[in-house]
Structure 1
Amino acid sequence: MTRRSSRGFGAALGLLAALASPAATLEGRVTDGRRGLAGVRVYPDRQPRVSPAADPPLAVTDGEGRFHLDLEPGDTVLAVEKDGWRRDLVPAAEWRGDIALSPEPRHRQEAVFVVRLDFTDEPSKLPDGALRELIFSRRPGVASAANYLYEVSKGALSLVEGRFLKLRSADHPAPRTDAHKLGMAEWVLERLQGEDLGACDRLDNRTGARRSDGKPDHLWIITPGKPQSLTADEADLKAVSLLVPLPWDRGHRWPLIFMTEQVPLGNIVHEAFHAMGEHRVDDLYLDCGDPLTAGIWDLMDAGQYRGWDRSHPGEGPWVEDTGYSPSHPSAWVRSELWYRGHFRDQVRRLAVKGRAWEGWIAPVSRAPGADPQWVTLPDPRKKGRFFSLEVRRPWGFERGRVGGRFGPGHEGLIVARIDPSLLSPDDPRGPMRVVDAHPGSPEPPKPHFPCRRWELDDAAFNLGPGENPKGRAGPLSWQVLETDASGRMRVRVSLRR
């Protein structure tokens, strides 16, 4: 029988009713599972923006782990974070009891070596302060690269400023096209020869392990100009992640990101994921006309453009209303590809060995707990290929919408077929194919993604009016049986012989 679970709903509704006034105070406690935990930041999870109208209210727990927080009626999820502890997103159904955090032994800082490369015929226009805010801000509610990476790593990765260097070149006159990017990157590297990287070299770029490897943790070269990803003008430069041989030692390559100063946040963190693991994280998209890749459900596909309020390819600035709320990486990318599996334990996985399974799946954006967050089953038709199930909720950066759209299929169970043999460092072959819960639904009118890239924004399976609880792909079938107030879904899956 298909039904929506009432378990937890009563408590959640009662708590939300108590918050029905314009502002109400929530009193809570954060613990380590036994004792109160001091110094925890607690704030309502709201839509991140590059320049939010106001900061969300913020509480810091006292010596007993207690906090007082003023909330608005629309606040239904709390962000709970402290360096060295796993960050969590906690829905209202769980606010009445203590909120427990688990230690995060892998927490570390990763430093960015920023190079602003100006040209004699074109200086930078974006102020340094605005660029630093877009990259490094850790203020709650700000759409920044640092906040995004802290969220998707569940508190394991703090992005910090290492060096901020300004260079000016007369060697690369306009017009500058994508064909010139490698030459410009090599020009910058020549000027970094002999630099003492110091605190900019804290980890192994390939594996994510905490040991220096003679390379900057992150090297980001930022030039003046518009982003080709949005203008579609070949006279502009496209953001790219490169592995560049050192001019003084061609046998060694440094990973770096090359981008323009007007590039949106989604492009920045998309390219950063390529660099983190030296191109183990693949592009998931194919040609713009191919509908069945990962779409909006992964940062490495159209999800890098999530948060898209209007189309204005001919004029900027774009960062405020385009790609400011990029999707999380899928469970597969986050768990298996990112730094070659270094953050694997951030996602609780269940690999089903038999032909059937039924159970609860927790939202993958939360700290791992008792329930699986990623369920996989082998595809018997091809060795190594498998089916993937995960639950996605519009929390954190995944609150971003395209043109304000929301409705059936925009949250819930995401089912995909994944073929790791199709991974490629530079020639996307579509290793991840999301199953569409609403096939045949028209792609929306403007605003739409660059080159009308397919969104699949209604691909989730769920319960409720207009939703689709059942699906099938080849030998696999599934059904959503229940949801609960904590965002979990009870799912039944079966695999035909």
Structure 2
Amino acid sequence: MLRAFALGLLATALTAAPVQGRITDGRQGLPGVRVYPDRLPRVSPAGDLPVAVTDAQGRFQLDLEAEDAVLAVEKDGWRRDLVPAAEWGREIVLHPEPAFRREAVFLVRLDFTDEPSRLPDGALRELLFSRRPGVASAANYLYEVSKGALSLVEGRFLKMRSAEHPAPRRDEHKAAMARWVLERLQGETFGDCDRVNNRTGESKPDGKPDHLWIITPGHPQSITADESHLKAVSLLAPLPWSHNQRWPLLFMTEEVPLGNIVHEAFHAMGEHRVDDLYLESGAALTAGIWDLMDGGQYRGWDRSHPDQGPWVEDTGYSPSHPMAWVRSELWYRGHFRSALHHLAVGGRSWEGWLAPVSRAPGEDPQWLTLADPRKKGRFFSLEVRRPWGFERGRIGHRFGPGHEGLVVATIDPGLLAYGDPRGPVRVVDAHPDSPEPPKPRLPLRLWELDDAAFNLGPGENPKGRSGPLAWEVLETDARGRMRVKVSLDRR
């Protein structure tokens, strides 16, 4: 089956240009759908990707490169999908996205009298808000992981300058600097910058900016490990004029990598329901690169140069998607739950197809869970991960067995504790005896676990066990699905 899958992909790739297709809503052609090849995003791509827009009958034609094997299809108000080559020969069906909305960023550039900003406004806007296909931006990342439900846009852009916070500025000064900004926002009317409830994600103003991001000059401590530099952070800051009210805000330097930006943004969306998954002590395996809230925020790390920037072009520019649990249950407290097809197995065994979690939900489950009989509330989680979209990013260009496939984890929601990571997600390593990879390696001693996925093929491991749960990969197909068998000993 694997040989047939590989030959099918090769034959498709060799005949891939140009490609014609049709996109419908299940009944008739869907006009205005943007179609382009799914390639590794970059902050400053070498050129524009080829893009087609469907006509009144939903038809498109697109010239592709030989290696293109997945198409991104998107239209505001419709659920975004990543479509592998095996499905190009038939009509592609998109479904409405009832949760679609735009969320605005109230952006404050905070300069200091002894240190002005160096990054041009245009470059900052591109990193945060660009919707050009192929650009590694916060807006493109959030649109992709929400599967078209969330469009991040620029709201207000203010510039402030302070003489009250002279160098050296350290992490312990961030709360005071944030308070200084908040004092100057008293009485502001936010208008279109307040469209959602920050805690629940509902489309309902709550008197707070959807996103308040404060950007200062300077290097990112997350990369340099220099305590004289500032670390990006999400704060729930008390208002100077009303201490019983708190606003979520991001505080970060202008040179911070994209992965850090969207990692902190996830903390804020839901007012810190989304927890850090890593353990800074490195005492146990956590989620590694398989989640944005762990080492996955640093995916897309081409080389190690902590002493010299800029870093945005080659560090953390292609961050991982959140795992199914984070995306479905924690992000905005479950507001985007419908973006995944979840199956909770109630019996002792199950066998069937799992679809890639990055795709729009369809008939096959994308997230499989089974209760762990050893502890109330804890459960096993299984999902299929493919190197599509932002998950094309690699660390040190490494790729091989275990870098895609079935990711299995034990999840304990009782270990959520914002600000004091306790490791609620523990990914099972498919290759536990593999050596530690060479540099570049993740900061903070974070686990990489980049070869933790179970799969079929040379060097792969199709079978695994964790306590009472056993699983096996039986088959894969050209659509990226995996047929798996799981069994649970409940004694």
SS of corresponding position for 1:192: coil
- Paired residues, number: 490
**Equivalence for 1:489:** 482
Which among 427, 438, 444 is matched to residue 434 of structure 1? 427
Which among 380, 384, 387 is matched to residue 387 of structure 1? 380
Aligned partner letter, 2:222: S
When structure 1 is superposed on structure 2, of 278-287 and 8-17 the one drifting more is 8-17
Q: Give runs of aligned pairs for residues 174-253 of structure 1, distance below 5 A.
A: 174-253=167-246
- Tell me if structure 2 keeps the 8 A contact 1:443–1:454: no
**Equivalence for 1:29:** 22
1:475 aligned onto 2:468: yes
Aligned partner letter, 2:13: L
SS of corresponding position for 2:63: strand
Unaligned runs of 5+ in 1: none
- Tell me if structure 2 keeps the 8 A contact 1:288–1:454: no
Structure 2 Cα separation of the partners of residues 455 and 17 of structure 1: 34
1:143 aligned onto 2:136: yes
**1:12-46 superposed Cα distances (whole Å, 9 cap, x missing partner):** 55433323xxxx21111100011000000000000
Structure 2 Cα separation of the partners of residues 408 and 345 of structure 1: 32
Task: Give the percent of matched residue pairs that are identical in Structure 1 and Structure 2.
Answer: 78
- Tell me if structure 1 keeps the 8 A contact 2:377–2:412: yes
Structure 2 Cα separation of the partners of residues 17 and 193 of structure 1: 60
**Equivalence for 1:273:** 266
Q: TM-score scaled by structure 1?
A: 0.97
- Tell me if structure 2 keeps the 8 A contact 1:110–1:160: yes
Q: TM-score scaled by structure 2?
A: 0.98
1:4 Cα offset (Å): 3.9
**Equivalence for 2:406:** 413
1:215 Cα offset (Å): 0.2
1:10 Cα offset (Å): 7.2
1:287 Cα offset (Å): 2.1
Structure 2 Cα separation of the partners of residues 38 and 291 of structure 1: 50
1:160 aligned onto 2:157: no
Structure 2 Cα separation of the partners of residues 172 and 93 of structure 1: 58
- Tell me if structure 1 keeps the 8 A contact 2:291–2:322: yes
**Equivalence for 2:12:** 15
**1:317-348 superposed Cα distances (whole Å, 9 cap, x missing partner):** 00000000000000000000000000001010
Q: Give runs of aligned pairs for residues 267-416 of structure 1, distance below 5 A.
A: 267-416=260-409
Aligned partner letter, 1:268: I
Aligned partner letter, 1:485: A
- Tell me if structure 1 keeps the 8 A contact 2:280–2:444: no
1:270 Cα offset (Å): 0.0
Aligned partner letter, 1:39: G
- Tell me if structure 1 keeps the 8 A contact 2:411–2:426: yes
Aligned partner letter, 1:184: M
Structure 2 Cα separation of the partners of residues 470 and 445 of structure 1: 27
1:360 Cα offset (Å): 0.3
- Tell me if structure 1 keeps the 8 A contact 2:476–2:483: yes
1:112 aligned onto 2:105: yes
1:454 Cα offset (Å): 1.4
1:94 Cα offset (Å): 0.2
SS of corresponding position for 2:447: coil
- Tell me if structure 2 keeps the 8 A contact 1:221–1:257: yes
1:9 Cα offset (Å): 7.0
Which among 87, 90, 93 is matched to residue 94 of structure 1? 87
Aligned partner letter, 1:401: R
Which among 101, 121, 143 is matched to residue 128 of structure 1? 121
Unaligned runs of 5+ in 2: none
SS of corresponding position for 2:184: helix
